[in-house]
Each structure stands twice: as C-alpha cells, then as structure tokens.
Amino acid sequence: VQKIDQCSTLLHEAKSRLSEAGYEIQTVRIATNPFGEWLTLKHDASINHLTSTSDDVSSQPATKRAKQSSPENKDEVDESTISERLQKLNNILSQHDIGFLSLGPSTCPRHTTSICPKIVSIAPGRFSCSANVDACDVESARAAAKCVQIISTLGTDDESHLAGGLGNFRFCAASCVASGVPFFPAARGASLTDTDTIFPKIGFGIGLENGEFALN
C-alpha cells in the first residue's frame, strides 16, 4: 500500500504539471516487476521498485521475493488466494485513482496458462500482463498461445472488458522488453534479478501516441 501511495503521489503530481503545461493526459498507470516474484508467493510481498508512465503516466514496482517461482515451488499460494490478492489490489488502485496496472511478465509457462487469464479477468479491466517468450523457447510460446485462447473464451455479454475476446488487449507475448518501457500490456518494472535496470526503485516514463509531439 505504501509503494502504491508513493507511485500515486508521483503520477498525479506529474499529471497536474503536464496538464498545466498544456498536454492532454489520458491515463495514469503503474507497472510492477514480474508477478511471480510477489503475487503467487506465500510470504508477505512488499513492493520495492516502481516505475511510472504518463499519457499514460505509469509507475513500475518490483517486489520482494524469496526465489523465482517454478512449477514445483511449494512456496506458492493457491488460486483462490491469488484472486483475493488481485481484488484487494484492485480496490487499492481504485482508491488512488490509478487507471491501469501491468503486473509484469510471466516467466513460467504454468503461470502463463493459469494465472495470466485470472489477472485479465478481474473487472473492470484494470489489470494487464504479458508472457516472456525468448527466442527458441517453444514451451513458453505454446503457453502464450494457449493463454490467448483461454482469454478469448472468458466473459459474458455483461462483462464488457472481456466480451468478444477483448481481454486479449490486456495480454501479450513479449521478448526483450526492458524495465521502464511504458507501453501496455508489455510494460514492466525491474525484476529483482535485473542487474542493469535504469529504474532501481521508483521510476517514471511517458508513453506517447504517434502525433506531432512525438515527431518533434
């Protein structure tokens, strides 16, 4: 909660100053480090590193973790606990007027197929995530493809953020995406294993549309 509060303060201050300077700010967003480092673990995860982006003004946090999650990691919580954590996080973001949050990339094929659809399914569509797929990593690529298929089947007519496969606007397969990149759903904060991150704690970035400002 403290890290979200810090990011919120940074983002809304940036939004205010940019608006005063005559720029249109569409959304404020936060991106975290890979969710396998905090969302799925039994210990209490606290967010340590954040980055922000604006146009999208977004902040990106990295959280404490004991070790990388793996298919056999006994330190993981069950899926119902993950859902509870996501709902709690969703409420906190709503209280801080944060429009969107990227939970970083999945680095485990099992997480890609079981947890990424759960992340995307949370109403009202505030969450997004990605799957890290390196060159020649067939297992991760197949898991990402399966995740896309699962997400396409989610939702009803009453759930507009999922209906008609819209949930796949909040998931993607990605590779070579550095921490600090502000474009969702691939945006992410620094992993706790990153040694060359430019955002060691709380960072800030601006995601631009292809307009005159970007060209100039």
Q: What is the pLDDT along the chain (216 residues), one digit of tens a residue?
A: 788 898 999 999 999 999 999 988 999 999 999 999 999 988 654 444 445 555 555 565 544 333 344 444 667 888 899 999 999 999 999 999 999 999 999 999 999 999 999 999 999 999 999 999 999 999 999 999 999 999 999 977 666 789 888 999 999 999 999 888 899 999 998 888 776 555 556 778 888 876 676 666
CA distance 113 to 209: 31
Residue with tokens 């496969």: 165
Helix or strand or coil: residue 213? helix
Closest-CA residue to 12 (of 48, 58, 49, 51):
58
pTM above 0.85, yes or no: no
Provide the residue type at 33 as one letter.
N
Predicted confidence at residue 158, as pLDDT, reads: 64
